[in-house]
Structure 1
Amino acid sequence: MKTLYSMLLCILLTTVSYGQEKIETKQDTTKQKITKLDAVIVTGNLKTDPVLTIVANKYDEKIVQPKNVADLFNDINGFSVIKRGNYAIDPSFRGAQYEQLNIQYDGGTKAMHACPNRMDPITTHIIPEEISKIEIIKGPYTVRYGATFGGIVNLVTQKPDYEDYGVHGKVSGGYESNGNSLVNLVQLQYIKDKFDVVANAGYRDFGNYEDGNGTEIPSAFRSIDYGLKLGYNFSDSQRLQAHWRQSFGRDVLHAALPMDTEYDNSSIISLDYRLDDIGKIIKSITAKTYFSYVDHLMTNDRRPSFMMMEAASAVDATTVGGKLELSWKPLEKLNMFSGIDAMHIARDGNRTRLVKVMNGNPLPTPVEFNDKVWQDSYITDLGIFTEAKYNLSSTTILTAGLRYDNVVSDIQDPEADFAAMYDLKKRTEHNVSGTVSVKKRVSDNFTLEAAYGRGVRSANMIERFINHFTVGQDPYEYVGNPDLKAEVNNQFEIGFKGSKPLKNGFNKFKYETSFYYSFFENYIVGVVNESLTRKFNPTLDPISPKVFRNLDEAYKTGFEATAQIDFLDNYYFKTELSYVYAKNKDLGESLPLTPPLTTGFSIGMNKTNYWANIKYNLVSKQNNISKSFGETETEGYQTLDVRLGIKPTNNITLGVAVINAFDEAYNNHLNFSFTNQADFGRTPITEPGRNLSAFLQYTF
């Protein structure tokens, strides 16, 4: 492994390269202009795009392996994933996670999880193959897409192909050896000048995988998904679109959570409307509304604790929201975006416990208890925003935005002990956020960006209303705090990107980097409260629960960097680097879930009908940890991935891959620990060992 690392480092020092992907341009055969909906944030327009963005695309092309949700983020610089198994996977960006990231579909649609242990995050409610690209705004640098604390992640679903009318579609299937996993997808679309229909259905069956030591990790799951997208063009400048999707998860095993998912059913419907070319000042109006419902059941039927206590928790979450935005241009050099948006989250559900053993003694008759999980709570956020983009020159754009959020929260069916702790009543918060940034295209080959953003996030429902449940990485019970102040992220960032033509067989050198610093106000963490005692299993350690509270002093700083060179027309070498340092001054430790230094080296080729790459991943040891969060130091590791794709005809794509080719046994620092498992201690779950995969797609 050291020899391989030395070889790659040598190549980096001598060539530092990356391949320039060839873009195939199809002939436009449409007969009319198709109005674009606000499903995308980054359009490639200097005058309208946000600053400091990443676009990871081509997910629907050049596929070489079946995709799990984690695969969508693992190759994006600055991203990590938080794993509790092979299904409940949350993305983390620069150490920001959960509601600190504003994660949405198609420019605003949301589906919030029902499980307090996040067995069903938003990323589980969509087929990974349906995602055509992911757009990331690296911080709170826009106010147009909802309240944003640490950044925006926009999952863009595939759009109808307006380049050819009639019936088209694709059929795909994939297999992974580690877990004997299967994925299948069928997609059909019908396009006419006035309307279009896109329908898809997918089936996924993942088995338990083996880590690099040959240990089987309980992580199997099955899911069935389908979706239907309907669009109607009233005119060249007016479009209405409806999108309906459902997802059904079954028999989901969570290695690092105390229970498993029996079923997780989600339904999401959204409606989008846009009217363009209205007038000289008023340019366009866009409107979106959406509704999502998640029905979730988890049990401990397969766990060791079942012999002492049977537990089943049926919970649900409803998310309703919408947005109305006006694009207007009062001056030739000034573009304005003004609007309102709203999101309402409501959760409820109970846990039923049938206790068979109490204080170590079997009970002659089991005793049943009912615990309120969400205590019938809700949070409603109504936002008003204005963002202006002023052309200081043809190459310089100044952006300023201001946002106000009115956040109302209430708990309508509290447990008696929770009601005794707090003066519970409906609460209203007034949050003000804003941003100012500048983007300057110094030349065709160099762009400079600088930004400041004030992102404000009110406490989520777990932080407000959870009542003696284990929802963290550690074995502590957690107690919510409905009086928490909103978190504030004051983030400063400067970034630049550019390219330079080269000679003697080397085509182009490209580079991109960002440096950021954030200082936080009212940062929310769980802290042990020794005046309280454990509610469930009161004889077990730890005796005292954690209660969420605000910190006074915390900060985060870091950077991402990418360097790449194209050479010999179709070949490339690329290196990526990301680093985050976080500090909780109040407790004298790191903030939780901070990823270590991560480096990647890739070498490969891109041609029209075939492509290949080898990626070497180098992750450093993480000893800057949050002991109060239950973190332990994580050793560094190195993995190698090999991918190959072939397109023998215009309609067929075949891909093969070897992931973790050297069968490395390792765990990511952000992985949760095994919980309530028969054969595992409370150590971080390990990642899959060597995995061979194949993927076949046919389009028509």
Structure 2
Amino acid sequence: MKTLYSVLLCMLISMVSFGQQPNETKQDTTKTVTILDEVIITGNKKNDPVLTSVKNNYVEKIVQPKNVADLFNSINGFSVIKRGNYAIDPSFRAAQYEQLNIQYDGGTKAMHACPNRMDPITTHIIPEEIAKIEIIKGPYTVRYGATFGGIVNMVTQKPDYEDYGVHGKVSAGYEINGNSLVNLAQLQYIKDKYDIVANVGYRDFGNYEDGNGVEIPSSFRSTDYGIKLGYNISENQRIQAHWRQSFGRDVLHAALPMDTEYDNSSIISLDYKLDHIGTIVKSLTAKTYYSYVDHLMTNTNRPSFMMMEASSAVDATTIGGKLELSWKPLEKLNLFSGIDAMHIARDGGRTRLVKIMNGNVLPMPMIFNDKVWQDSYITDLGLFTEAKYNLSSHTILTAGIRYDNVVSDIQDPEDDFAAMYDLKKRTEHNISGTISIKKAVSDKFLLEVAYGRGVRSANMIERYINHFNVGQDPYEYIGNPDLKAEVNNQFEIGFKGREDLKNGFNRFKYDASFFYAFFENYIVGIVDPTITRKFNPMAEPTNAKVFRNLEESYKTGFEIMAEIDFLNDFYFKTEFAYVYAKNKDLSESLPLTPPFTTRLSVGFEKEKYWANVQYNIISKQDDISRNFGETETDGYQTLDVRFGVKPIENTTFGFAVINVFDEAYNNHLNFSFTNQENFGRTPITEPGRNFSAFLQYRF
């Protein structure tokens, strides 16, 4: 795959040379910057994808330090899958992991090295860097890689091109529950031809206490730094490089069998754009990136250490890129055509020093070496075209088609895994597409209707894992390299609008989406009574699970938001989110389906200060997947209070009380305590009452 990376890089360099003009004129003192395609949703109704949402104001309104995944808790329709305070994955409408196309800055990815997802992409970037999160709610665009359940784009902060010279900010936050501390320093230098942004952050989180005063093992430390360098080649060309590293240390995972000794990630990306090319060909964009994750996990601090010492060193390499041409052959027609690629390679193993076997102490401990990833890779090469046609001044038709060539191979299989399958390099051909209509009925009402066919080939865990605990339950899981690709046929209708009011009420705003999706070849782990567990054979359950395709499954649901603004600065908002999922093959719900969620919030926003109170009502979830090891979850209610103020110029202070009533609860998507002393296999509980403060100074 070094060849793929080299080709992408050479193509990028060639385009830079191609775009240079022979007699460039010197720029004016007023800076003109060609904006890179780091964002998906620009606020332009004619170009933005259908059925999108944006969550922003993190920089201005943040009042408590968080993990990046925690930012999703405030987005309607999202939940989080939690294994501790560090390994947290976002879930949207019961779609998770590779079912969501999660990226940052318009395409950069960093895939996890740990098979238990101790290190998802959300751990390789800090929340203080996030300017906004963009969401496309389904497979309604083909331009940003293969997409099954939706796209999540985390946009990092970029320079203020209007403000030359040296600027920056420093911030610090503290949480009482866990005695946790976060720090960030950022510096930027802007000139007419180039700009530099550098930042460094440090986070130290301790074990938190739940609402019953029980200490949950969840501490971690992480250090991050990044450098972003941009250069304006000409008035219509820009190139930008972004380098960042993250170092996680001593991470405790309450709901996983091991802890992280270290997790080191390195990510580099290079972006280029040539804009305003001509009357038909409008722009050319290119991106290439490389990420490497080096991960070590052990059971040194776990009860199982007395019987067996385990250490697992694994790594993951992700290489990718994209070339896209924007052109306009007709006045009413905009086309986006391109090619993208992503290569994921993983390797590593686990060393076990067994001291006790079948209940007997061994006179001489035995050493075993287990292959974790079995030196596997997946390469996805995609071709796409998306068209936007203006049916009228108020109606836009979007249609797109995408082809993905997916090649996968396992190069160092275990003997027992090789005996199960006829292993060889495999090539899949996936076709996905979308069609949608966006109509501005008036300047205050927008209607959107869409159909998307999203296709996702099996990930590396589903293909190649071999007798490892990777689920919510205690089963060993076995991959299946012959899995068919999942297909999501999703239909959705959405509308949003606003109405101006009188008599002290300023405005009423509303937003709603209703969706239905039926799946082909949905992938789940199913118990195979002919296969017994490989490790610790005396333990229950005795059989293993093998990943299989389901014949029939579907999900449906909605998100609704309504907000009324009154007395100029005050607002009241309510949000609802519901998902119903059905696995017809097993006559139960699909796994990891969140319960009905309601949020009620009231607050005010002024230039110098703001505050809000949010009441969260989470319903009981008794529609569960017992085959996945799920148990019913009681409903719960929590109250959060946040306050922010700018006491002096350039200074922001925030204060929050989360879970004011010290509620003891667990989210339905939380994994269960695993290999923990004094904890049974029950879902991990969330933090109890937590006071936090945040201070930021800009200069």
In the superposition, the TM-score normalised over structure 2's length comes to 0.96
Measured against aligned partners, the alpha-carbon deviations of 1:51-86 in whole angstroms (never above 9, x if no partner) come to 000100111112211122232101000000000000
Aligned partner of 1:160 in structure 2 is 159
Shift of 1:633: 0.2
Q: What does 1:192-231 correspond to in 2, within 5 Å? A: 192-231=191-230
SS at match of 1:60: helix
User: 2:617 and 2:375 mapped to 1: Cα distance?
Assistant: 45
Specify the code of the residue in structure 1 equivalent to 2:555.
K
Q: Is the 8 A contact 1:57 1:132 kept in 2?
A: yes
- Aligned partner of 1:98 in structure 2 is 97
Match of 1:72 in 2: 71
Distance in 1 (CA, whole Å) between partners of 2:447 and 2:358 is: 65
Aligned match of 2:524? 525
Q: Render the CA deviation track for 1:252-273: whole Å, top value 9, x for unaligned.
A: 0000000000000000000000
Consecutive aligned runs of 4 or more in structure 1 exceeding 6 Å deviation: none
Matched with 1:670 is 669
Which whole-Å CA distance do the structure 2 matches of 1:196 and 1:163 have between them?
11
CA distance in 2, matches of 1:150, 1:436: 16
Aligned equivalents of 1:650, 1:283: Cα separation in 2:
42
Residue 692 of structure 2 corresponds to 693
* Pair 1:402 & 2:401 matched: yes
The one-character-per-residue Cα deviations of 1:34-67 (angstroms, maximum 9, x if unpaired) are 1100100000111110000010011111221112
3-state SS of paired residue (2:530): coil
Counterpart for residue 574 of structure 2:
575
Q: 1:611–1:646: 8 Å Cα contact kept in structure 2?
A: yes
Partner of 1:354: 353
Q: Partners in 2 of 1:70 and 1:237 — Cα distance?
A: 36
Give the match for residue 565 of structure 2.
566
Query: Residue in 2 aligned with 1:422?
Result: 421
Q: C-alpha root-mean-square deviation of aligned residues, in Å?
A: 0.7
2:201 and 2:651 map into 1 onto residues whose CA distance is 19
Give distance in 1, aligned partners of 2:678 and 2:620. 26
Q: Does structure 1 residue 173 correspond to structure 2 residue 169?
A: no
Runs (5+) with no aligned partner, structure 1? 1-28
Question: Counterpart of 2:436?
Answer: 437
Matched with 1:25 is none
Partner of residue 293, structure 2 = 294
Aligned runs of 1:89-488 on 2, under 5 Å? Answer: 89-488=88-487
Letter in 2 for 1:674: F
Greater Cα offset, 545-554 or 643-652:
643-652
Aligned pair 1:647/2:643, yes or no?
no
**Which residue type is aligned with residue 113 of structure 1?**
H
Q: Deviations over 1:4-40 (max 9, x none)?
A: xxxxxxxxxxxxxxxxxxxxxxxxx971221100100
Structure 2 SS opposite 1:676: coil
SS at match of 2:532: coil
CA deviation digits over 1:128-149, x for unaligned, max 9?
1100000000000000000000
Aligned to 2:529, what secondary structure does the other structure show?
coil
Aligned partners of 2:467 and 2:476 also within 8 Å? yes
Counterparts of 2:70 and 2:508, CA distance in 1:
27
AA partner of residue 685 (structure 1): I
Identify the range of structure 1 (54-63 vs 347-356) with the bigger mean alpha-carbon deviation: 54-63
2:59 equivalent in structure 1: 60
CA distance in 2, matches of 1:431, 1:462: 20
Distance in 2 (alpha carbons) for counterparts of 1:394 and 1:32: 32
Distance 1:67 1:348 in 2: 31
Mapped partners of 1:135, 1:71: distance in 2: 15
**CA contact 2:31–2:162 (8 Å) conserved in 1:** no
- Rounded Cα–Cα distance in structure 1 between residues aligned with 2:144 and 2:206: 37
Residues 30 and 165, structure 1, Cα contact 8 Å, conserved in 2: no
How far apart, in 1, do the equivalents of 2:46 and 2:660 lie? 44
Offset, 1:234: 1.1
Higher RCO (C-alpha 8 Å, min separation 6) = 1
Structure 2 SS opposite 1:462: helix
- For 1:672 and 1:59, how far apart are their aligned partners in 2? 28
2:10 paired residue number: none
Q: Distance in 1 between matches of 2:530 and 2:609?
A: 64
Instruction: Give secondary structure in 1 for the equivalent of 2:123.
Output: helix
Q: Deviations for 1:394-450, whole angstroms, at most 9, x for unmatched residues?
A: 111000000000000000000000000000000000000000000001111000000
- Name the SS for the 2:462 alignment partner: helix
C-alpha contact 1:30 1:162 (8 A) present in aligned 2: no
Deviations 1:505-528 (A, max 9, x none): 000000000000000000000000
1:545 alignment partner, SS class: strand
Alignment partner of 1:73: what SS?
helix
- Aligned-partner SS, 2:541: coil
Spell out, residue by residue over 1:452-479, the C-alpha distance to the aligned partner (whole angstroms, 9 max, x if none): 0000000000000000000000000000
Moved more, 190-199 or 532-541: 532-541
**Residue identity in the other structure for 2:550:** L
Q: What SS class does the counterpart of residue 229 from structure 2 fall into?
A: strand
Quick one: which amino acid aligns to residue 254 of structure 1? H
Distance 1:668 1:407, change over 3 A: same
- Structure 2 contact 73–80 (Cα < 8 Å) conserved: yes
Question: Equivalents in 2 of 1:429, 1:145: separation in Å?
Answer: 19
Structure 2, unaligned runs of 5 or more: 1-27
* Distance in 2 between residues matched to 1:594 and 1:413, nearest whole Å: 35
Instruction: Say whether the 8 Å CA contact 2:597–2:618 is kept in structure 1.
Output: yes
Alpha-carbon distance in 2 for matches of 1:541, 1:65: 42
1:494-505 alignment to 2 at 5 Å? 494-505=493-504
* Residues 558-583 of structure 1: CA deviation (Å, up to 9, x unaligned): 00000000000000000000000000
Kept in 2, the 8 Å contact 1:90–1:121? The answer is yes
| Residue type of the alignment partner of 1:550 | N
Helix, strand or coil at the partner of 1:116: coil
- 1:304-340: per-residue Cα shift (whole Å, max 9, x none)? 0000000000000000000000000000000000000
Instruction: State the distance in 1 between where 2:649 and 2:233 align.
Output: 33
1:585 shift after superposition: 0.1
Q: C-alpha displacement at 1:113, in angstroms?
A: 0.1
In structure 1, distance between residues paired with 2:97 and 2:205 = 24
Distance 2:483 2:67 in 1: 35
User: Counterparts of 1:68 and 1:384 in 2: how far apart (Å)?
Assistant: 35
Give the TM-score normalised by the residue count of structure 1: 0.96
Q: Which amino acid aligns with 1:285?
A: L
Per the alignment, in what secondary structure is the counterpart of residue 69 of structure 2? helix
* Cα shift at 1:650: 2.3
Amino acid aligned to 2:425: K
- SS at the partner of 2:684? coil
The amino acid across from 1:366 in the alignment is P
- Inter-partner Cα distance in structure 2 for 1:200 and 1:394: 44
Name the SS for the 1:354 alignment partner. Answer: strand
- The question of 1:658 aligning with 2:657 is answered yes
1:219-271 CA-to-partner distances (Å, cap 9, x unmatched) read 00000000000000011210000000000000000000000000000000000
Show CA shifts across 1:332-388 (max 9, x none).
000000000000000000000000000101111100000000000000000000000
Q: Which amino acid aligns with 1:211?
A: D
SS at match of 1:42: coil
2:69–2:122 Cα contact (<8 Å) kept:
no
Aligned mates of 2:198, 2:408 — CA distance in 1: 37
- For the residue of structure 2 that corresponds to 1:41, the secondary structure is coil
Task: Please list the CA deviations of residues 649-681 of structure 1 after superposition, one character each: whole Å capped at 9, or x if unmatched.
Answer: 221000000000000000000000000000100
- Confirm or deny: 8 A CA contact 1:30 1:163 kept in the other structure: no
8 Å CA contact retained: 2:31, 2:161: no
